[in-house]
Amino acid sequence: MSVFALARRLRAGETVYAAWCMIDSPVVAETIAREGFAAVVLDAQHGLWDTASLIAGVGGLNHAESTPMVRVPLNDFALVSRALDFGAEAIIAPMINSAADARQFVAAAKYPPLGERSWGPIRAMQLQGRTAPVDYMREANDGTLTFAMIETASALDNVDAIAATRGIDALFVGPYDLSTALSGGTAQDVQAPKVEQAIDKICAAAKKAGKIPGIYCRDVAGALAMAKRGFRFIVAGNDQTTLREATVGQLKALKG
């Protein structure tokens, strides 16, 4: 896999579809990646991934020639730099609600002068086949991507300021939390008119700022629809949903 492949593809204007893994199994993540997904997100916020499984999962994805990504837990900016040191090449940070939150995220993810990331990408350099530290450092700020999740009413109000923050590479829509927030906690309808309008607003804010618009979708149909609406980094479901639906289909066929 070419070094920082996901960043190169997205900056070239490609639309990229990605997979999402909740189950803390490096083998499951690698198996999914080997089917051809350009990137796979290991979810350490709501998924079951811990430090040890993240290290193994990132390595497995690299060997499968898929870009490793990590969603970190809420406000866990310490894990941002650690996950990059493990070899992740993109970080999704939840609940980025303001420009101040965005700057904190950038501080952990980017080397000076953009941020304050400290030096120590030993595993990342190994996975990339690098021996000269300066080679990694020269490309890391452009090559490692920061995805700021927009999933609350506050984030929506501040979306232009978040998008304009130096060092933020992408906005990423969390539609289920966004729909929960916009309904006042009474519904989780990602197709409600208010949510649809918010999704378009986020996509437009990213494009206006020259950033990458990204979104999580439950399934392939949703992913294809969001591509038509202008999103360029799109998750098409997760491992648990895929496994469950495949199993349901098998059992239905067996039972006639």
What the block records as the tokens of 43 is 């979810």
DSSP 166-222: TT--EEEE-HHHHHHHHTTSS---TTSHHHHHHHHHHHHHHHHTT-EEEEEESSHHH
Question: Does 46 participate in catalysis according to the annotation?
Answer: yes
Residue 48, H or E segment: none
Number of other CB atoms surrounding residue 67 within 10 Å: 28
Angle at 175 between CA 169 and CA 179, to 5 degrees: 135
Distance CA(33)–CA(39), nearest Å, equals 7
Classify residue 102 by burial, with Cβ atoms within 10 Å: 0-12, 13-18, 19+. buried
Which one is catalytic: 8, 14, 27, 46? 46
Contacts 24+ apart (CB under 8 A), 185-192: 190/218
Question: First and final CA of the chain: distance in angstroms?
Answer: 44
Angle at 252 between CA 246 and CA 254, to 5 degrees: 105
The dihedrals phi and psi of 144, each to the nearest 5 degrees, come to -95, 125
Residues forming the active site: 46
